[in-house]
Amino acid sequence: MRLTKLELQGFKSFADHTFLQFDKGATAIVGPNGCGKSNVSDAIRWVLGEQRARMLRGGSMTEVIFQGSSARRPVNVAEVSLHFDNREGTLPVPFKEVVITRRLSRSGESEYFLNRTACRLRDIQDLMRGTGLGADSGVVIESKMIDALLSDRPDDRRELFEEAAGVGLYRDRRRSTERRLEETSVDLSRLDDLINEVASQTRALARQRKRAERHAELTARRFNVELTLAGREMAEWKDELARLDARLAELQLLNPQAEATLAEFERARETAQQTRANAEAQRAELARIVAAERQTVLQLQGELAVAEERQRNATSRRSRAEEEQKEGEALGLRVAEERERAIAERAQCEETLSGAAQELAERAALEEETRRAVASARQRVEQAERAARELREQARRLEIDREATQREEQEVGLRRAALDTELAALADRMESVQREMAAAAEALELAREQVAQAQFELDEARLAVRAARDAEAGARAELARADEMRTSIQGKINGLEALERDRVGLAPAAARLLKERQQFGDGAVLGPLSDFVTAGSEAAALVERFLGATVHAVVVRDRDVADRIRGWHAAANLGPLLLLPADAIPATSPFASATTPDGMAVDATGLAARVRAAEPAGSWVRALLGGVEVLGEGSAFVDARGAMLLPGQTSGPGPLRRRAELSDLRAQLEQSDARREEARQALEGARAALAAAEAQQAVAAEASTVAQQEARRADDQRAELERRRQRADRELADAQQLAARLSQRVDELAERARVLEARAGEALAQAEAREQEAADARGALAESEHQLETAREERTVWQVEQAQAQARLQVAVDRERRLSHEIQTQAQRLESLQRELSSLATADSALAEQMSVWALDLESKRQQLQDVEERLADAEQAVQGADEALRTAEQALADVRRSNGALADEFHTASLRHTQLAGRRDALRERLETEWRRPLDDLLASFEPVDVEADTLRTELDELRGQLEQLGVVNPLAIDEHEEEVRRLDFLTGQRTDLAQARASLQQAIKEIDTTARELFLATFAQARENFRQIFMTLFGGGECDLRLENPDQPLDCDIEIHASPRGKRTQRIHLLSSGERALVALSLLFGIFLTKPSPFCLLDEVDAPLDDQNVGRYVRMLNQFKTKTQFIIITHNPRTTTEAADAVYGVTMQEPGVSSLVSVRLRGGPQVDAGPTEAPADAAADAAVDAESDGAEPEPATAAT
């Protein structure tokens, strides 16, 4: 297989479609600098798949597209093709010619083609595998490779060997595998920590699960016992409520008859009320008319007074307007005189301004003429001074260069002297590195101890977090219990408050009176006696037993209110009603004693001392309860007179006991709120403690991570110190070579300092001559500037005079304008005063007429007011008669209401008992539904009845509550959480096994990659070493050379040393050879590397540049030896290489700026070479191209023959 043709279009400077034909042997490409020869090398690299823009001497890949020139626009596509002859079947495709093409558009889209068919880069790489062709192969040898081999940087030299051995791919794989291994190790470490944490939490949840299961068993038993008791109570209450419903139904049947009779008498009363209301309405209407007439009279009197005041004001204003009119006429005359004077002053100022302007123009012209003379003199001075400064600056720069040269000479001498010190310092550095390595080992051991300590602290922090979580769960459960208790108490309070609002249990007559209290006036009916009494539960029960029905008494304001209620009560016929007038007990009575701020009587005795009574009912409470003694536990009472009351059996609790129970429940609610607040604060404290513990855990975890990082850094530092020790060995040899170069540099700098000193003296002499010329010119400039200053002062004087004249003129103009405006304003003011006097006279006449009309109306309204007042007296007598008839009707209605009292009392008692039972049933239902969070019907249907006596069940229920209290807070989700954590632990354990296997697999892969890369590198190194020796002997005709690994035990990481001794020399280090010898050594090694993986062709890009004629001859002999086996494409400036080694030559020119083109030439006796669309027919074209290249000129393309 061989290369037959290269096609380029739009690639770098090859804008047009261009192709180069290649035959066997060597083909040279020549041309001047910058014409685009190396772009051919870049094109071959690029089409073979190069992906690094820097290898193509660019910043981005799109820079390979032709960027345009001064005469051409940029193109959008770059395309390069390589043609191979495959008749030998080297490439595994059934084609005799194989064409590889790469195309790149400016949008960044890259395409590859194989025989004009689109394909992938990998397809081309697979096709070329084993042929030695590829982007990373040695198919292109360029001058910078010589620099890389001769460089002090071992990485550059190693890169060439690694590319030849193909180790780069394995290095990339190893880095990727190491990165994955590190990630896997980190994941494994984290997973171990997570497994330890989950295992610990699983054990804690197992303990919580046992407590939760025990709690569930006790709760289920308590549910059955409590629902059994509730079911029995609900059944008993249901039977009694049924009996009460039947009796209430009977009473409701009797109630319509009583209501009909009551309604008849109420209608009679309403008729009387209507008659009284009509009389009252007529009286009110007449009273309204009287008030309206009085208001009209007052209004007319007020309007007459206002009119008289307006008349007086108008007279006063007319007098002032006449005075202002006289003053305005006098002022107008004075302003007109001042205006005439202002006009004369303005004319005088205009004349003065004209004269000043003429003088100023003359002075300005003189100043301009003087300024031009000064500018001319100043220009001559500046020219002379500039020339002197330039010469001085030149002398200064030369002196600076001389001093810099001397300083550099001194510095080089000092550096040469310092080399000896540096050699001694290198030994000290080696000793220092050894000490640092020992310290690094100690630091590594300390870091490992810190890692262990940090891990211990992390475990302690995790235990603290688990304890804080348990405490937080307990506080949360305690808050839930407090909320549950508060809800139960609030439900009871709501039920009792509803009964209190509806006045359940109050006598029907009292309840009716409270509903209709507004008809007796505000503050007439004060409320039931029970509203003014506050007592504890025990005292409230005793008071109700003693007072009986008296507890339903209603407190009224006074005896008059009681009399009015008596009439209402007789008409309503609602049953018995006890009224307590607040003023019935005089202040001198012993029951009207003083009270304490909380309502307790100061000198109360008996039962009255056990309650608190609010005024104005306090006197009545002390009168009813004062001196009453309680016998036993309330079975009998003895009053102050000695009478004994045996109350017997009472019905249910009354309003006093209900209010006492409500007060107790509110106190319990406050205690519950306090307990809930304590539980909430405890929960917040537990959460804060949990947050602190978690924060501490995070700190400990961070400390553990930091400690591990410190341990890794200590290990890295130890490795770095080892590399520093090896680097110190190499620096010793480099210092010796530097000493020789510094000695040569000292001689060069001394000669340069002498030359600079002579040139600086000449520049100083010329500068002094120029400075004398500048001094003469400055004298003339000073005289001209004096004349200019005098002219400027005169011009300034007249300029100031002009400005003052303009200012005086402006003042005169402004004064004239102001006086004209004042004359106009005064005229308008006089006209306005005249109009105002006319208006005032008209208004005065109209006001006098209106006042006479109002006086007549006032007399008429006074007569009408007297008539209406007489009618009002008659209406008030009619109202009194209607009141008497209404009292008679209300008395009859009261008799009917008393007859229905007994029926209403019985109905009230039954309703009260029914309400009490229903309230207890609803309270029980609400408590159970709130506690168990389900409807009562569902609860009664779902429990298992317990067949035990009620007392036994109550005892067992108390025991169950005690056991649940002792069990404490439980986690209701512990069972599910425990099962979930167990599954999580199993999953994490499986994940850890998989990660451990993955880590072992990655470690084994790294070992295999290292083994393969080591074998490839050593094989390539051995072959390159042998090839290097053979080619070195060919080029130098003898001598010794060798390649050595600095550390053979680590061939993939150590430096590669080149040793060469040409024939007759004993020098081993290539840095001590001449530049030509070093270039030949590098070429020997490059060809040795190339031959380890030979390719069908090789491109040599200006590698012969540093060779002299003798060495070029050796180079040409080597090319002639190898070109029988390998095609060579030689880019060169050397005409000897072109004529002696090349079988064909291409000349690259840039006839059009920025665009490369080829001239096709043929050598003497050889076939003509095709270079695209233009051909050179004669031998003269080749001679011209080679001669022009040797002279540094650009060859011109030959003209095609016709």
Binding residues for ATP: 32-39
SS3 annotation, 463-509:
HHHHHHHHHHHHHHHHHHHHHHHHHHHHHHHHHHHHHHHCCCCCCHH
- Report the 10 Å Cβ neighbour count for 650: 12
Task: State how far the Cα of 712 lies from the Cα of 717, in Å rounded to an integer.
Answer: 9
The tokens of 363 are what?
């002075």
Contact 444, 715 (CB under 8 A): yes
Phi, psi of 574 (to 5 degrees): -105, 5
For residue 292, give the amino acid letter.
Answer: A
Task: State how far the Cα of 1083 lies from the Cα of 1031, in Å rounded to an integer.
Answer: 9
> Which residues does 1070 contact at the CB level (< 8 Å), separation at least 6?
150, 1058, 1059, 1060, 1078, 1081
Residue 1071's nearest CA partner among 1062, 1059, 1080, 1083 is: 1059
Report the SS3 class of residue 149: helix
Contact 53, 59 (CB under 8 A): yes
Annotated binding site: 32-39
Specify the residue for token string 């209507």: 274
**β-pair partners for 1041:** 1060
> Which residues does 96 contact at the CB level (< 8 Å), separation at least 6?
85, 86, 87
Task: State how far the Cα of 25 lies from the Cα of 2, in Å rounded to an integer.
Answer: 10
Task: State how far the Cα of 438 lies from the Cα of 440, in Å rounded to an integer.
Answer: 5
Task: State how far the Cα of 78 lies from the Cα of 97, in Å rounded to an integer.
Answer: 23
The DSSP string of 164-213 is HHTHHHHHHHHHHHHHHHHHHHHHHHHHHHHHHHHHHHHHHHHHHHHHHH
- Report the 10 Å Cβ neighbour count for 303: 15
For residue 410, CA distances in Å to 414, 742, 750 come to 6, 11, 10
Residue 240's nearest CA partner among 1029, 737, 920 is: 920
The H or E element containing residue 588 is: none
Specify the residue for token string 């296997």: 997
Task: State how far the Cα of 18 lies from the Cα of 8, in Å rounded to an integer.
Answer: 5
Specify the residue for token string 């039962």: 607
Cα–chain-centroid distance for residue 226?
A: 56
The H or E element containing residue 599 is: none
SS3 annotation, 352-416:
HHHHHHHHHHHHHHHHHHHHHHHHHHHHHHHHHHHHHHHHHHHHHHHHHHHHHHHHHHHHHHHHH
Residue 834's nearest CA partner among 321, 317, 331 is: 321
The DSSP string of 279-343 is HHHHHHHHHHHHHHHHHHHHHHHHHHHHHHHHHHHHHHHHHHHHHHHHHHHHHHHHHHHHHHHHH
Residue 522's nearest CA partner among 490, 561, 569 is: 561
Task: State how far the Cα of 233 lies from the Cα of 228, in Å rounded to an integer.
Answer: 9
Exposure string over 247-275, b if 16+ CB within 10 A, otherwise e: eeeeeeeeeeebeeebeebbeebeebbeb
